[in-house]
């Protein structure tokens, strides 16, 4: 494990290291060679965005733990820099680090709208609700200029195709001109992730994501426009933010959310070391207890990928969280969205006529 200190943390970044991905033949390790090292000697870490082409836009899954069987991710990597992000290990598949590379070397699927239209126009395509942003946030900062998520929503609106969104960004409210009319037809819903109500903790955990108060205000904006909103208390981290579960749900309900969900932190692959480093830097006195509690609720490991357990865990703390979640939802009148599929209307789906289409016989 890399020895890190809070002073070495880069401003606006969640990871403290850029460890080599698991597929690489050589490993890079940062060491102190005795010379007076200073962050000021390093050039600033800038975000780069690379355009890439995708063959298909929709990714399908068969997981019984997810309320959807298909998703769209317009971006790889995420500039929000959340220290706990389960998508970080996916960057290793491109020969990059799940650490700082994940939040600074981003990829935009520049042709994703055309690829999506080709998929949903195929005669054999069966319409079911699509999740936008299942892996990385579709409204991360680069969306402001790239607008891939907005273009995807506009296309799905044209086809009256149901779509759900999960994000921690306030930028989703920008697209209310599309989402509002879709919501009137039962075609969309939004889940807003609220990890903590403590803005100082949020700044350390999610350095480039909007503050918690702004996310709650986004829930108010969406619900005022008639868009159904789920308050997503995720991830719950033992001894760090799990005590806030009830307060987060209450704040979401007060802002207008009608349903709720949560996930217990899971640390897979490189994320185990990355998050341990983060705890070393930002909560050293809590590190051992946090990791111990995770293991107690993950079958003795930091991650348990077993279906039915990987999202909510299986130990005593996991059982307590589940009970608290259930009781809070009942008290607040929130639908427990953890337990069922997305309820959006698939019956309105239709393919607009395009140049060259053959007219159907009457």
Distance CA 155, CA 174 (A): 16
Residues 6+ apart with CB under 8 A from 325: 233, 245, 249, 260, 262, 336, 338
**Structure-token pair, residue 355:** 């140049």
3-state secondary structure of 130: strand
Whether residue 108 lies inside any domain: the answer is: yes
The structure's pTM equals 0.90
- Verify cis geometry, omega within 30 degrees of 0, for the bond prior to 235: yes
Domain membership flag for residue 345: no
Q: Is residue 354 part of a domain?
A: no
Residues of the chain with pLDDT under 50: 1-7, 361-362
Q: Is residue 91 part of a domain?
A: yes
Is the residue at 86 inside a domain? yes
Give the tens place of pLDDT for each residue, 164-209. 999 999 999 999 999 999 999 999 999 999 999 999 999 999 999 9
Count of domains for the chain: 1
* Residue found under tokens 């001109």: 177
Query: CA separation (Å) from 240 to 11, 18, 88, 304, 336?
Result: 21, 24, 21, 20, 23
* Bridging pattern class, strands 130-132 and 70-72: parallel
Q: Which two tokens stand for residue 217?
A: 């205000």
Query: What does the block give as tokens for 171?
Result: 């930028």
Query: Which pLDDT score, from 0 to 100, does residue 292 have?
Result: 97
The β-bridge partners of 76 are: 107
Question: In this structure, what CATH number is given to the domain that contains residue 235?
Answer: 3.80.30.30
Query: Looking at the domain assignment, is residue 47 inside a domain?
Result: yes
Nearest to 134 by CA among 52, 206, 49, 70: 70
Location of structure tokens 């903590």: 196
Evaluate whether residue 357 is within a structural domain: no
Domain membership flag for residue 14: yes
Query: How do 75-76 and 105-109 pair as beta strands?
Result: antiparallel
- Determine the Cα–Cα distance for residues 303 and 339; give it in Å rounded to an integer: 21
- pLDDT at position 7 is 41
> Domain range spanning residue 94?
6-339
């Amino acid at each position: 494990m890399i020895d890190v200190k809070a002073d070495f943390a880069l401003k606006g970044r969640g990871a403290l290291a850029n460890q080599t991905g698991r597929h690489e033949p050589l490993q890079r390790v940062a060491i102190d060679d005795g010379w007076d090292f200073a962050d000021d000697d390093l050039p600033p870490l800038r975000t780069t965005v690379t355009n890439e082409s995708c063959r298909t836009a929709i990714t399908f899954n068969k997981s019984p733990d997810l309320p959807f069987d298909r998703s769209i991710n317009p971006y790889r990597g995420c500039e929000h820099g959340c220290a706990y992000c389960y998508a970080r290990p996916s960057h290793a598949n491109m020969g990059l680090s799940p650490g700082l590379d994940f939040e600074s070397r981003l990829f935009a699927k520049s042709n994703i709208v055309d690829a999506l239209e080709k998929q949903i126009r195929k005669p054999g395509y069966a319409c079911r609700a699509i999740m936008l942003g299942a892996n990385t946030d579709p409204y991360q900062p680069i969306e402001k200029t790239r607008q891939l998520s907005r273009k995807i929503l506009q296309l799905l609106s044209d086809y009256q195709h149901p779509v759900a969104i999960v994000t921690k960004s306030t930028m989703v409210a920008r697209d209310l001109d599309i989402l509002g009319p879709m919501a009137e037809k039962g075609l969309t819903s939004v889940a807003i992730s609220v990890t903590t109500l403590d803005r100082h903790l949020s700044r350390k955990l999610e350095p480039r994501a909007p503050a918690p108060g702004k996310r709650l205000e986004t829930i108010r904006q969406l619900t005022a426009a008639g868009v159904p909103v789920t308050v997503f208390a995720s991830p719950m981290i033992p001894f760090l933010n799990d005590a806030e579960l009830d307060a987060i749900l209450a704040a979401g309900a007060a802002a207008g959310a009608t349903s709720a969900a949560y996930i217990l932190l899971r640390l897979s692959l490189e994320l185990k070391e990355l998050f341990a480093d983060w705890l070393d830097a930002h909560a050293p006195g809590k590190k051992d207890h946090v990791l111990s509690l995770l293991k107690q609720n993950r079958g003795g490991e930091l991650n348990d990928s077993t279906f039915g357990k990987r999202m909510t865990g299986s130990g005593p703390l996991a059982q307590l969280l589940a009970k608290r979640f259930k009781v809070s939802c009942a008290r607040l009148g929130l639908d427990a969205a953890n337990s069922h599929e997305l309820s959006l209307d698939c019956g309105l789906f239709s393919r607009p006529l395009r140049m060259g289409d053959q007219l159907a016989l009457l």
